[in-house]
Amino acid sequence: MLRGSKQKERSEKLQRGPGGGPLECGAPVSMKNTAAVKNRFWTLLIRREGRFLPEFGSFVRGEAIVKMSEFRLKGVRRIDLKIIASDPDLSAIAKDVEALNDA
């Protein structure tokens, strides 16, 4: 059991944020810096005639995985399916798909 100054020191550490500053009240610690994190957009790609093409997109990765599973059940081979993460704008998705196809 911690006593005296050690207990006070531990209590102060728990009240500080990751950068050493005070924690804000309200939201859990894991949600403190979500405004600084960009939303990822998950795109399911299917290989057709040797090139990957976007088939489905969502901000929720699990939805893309479910859609991939549906294609697998329809007989599409796993090697012909990919999920990529990118910025949500179309130009970023197109750039990432082009980079994948050129690799």
Tokens of 32: 């403190």
Neighbours of 5 (CB within 10 A): 8
Bridge partner list, 42: 58, 85
Supply the Cα-derived Rg of the chain in whole angstroms: 22
Q: State pLDDT tens for residues 25-79.
A: 555 555 555 555 578 999 999 999 999 999 999 999 999 999 999 999 999 999 9
Report domain extents, the chain.
4-36, 41-102
**pTM reported for the whole predicted model:** 0.63
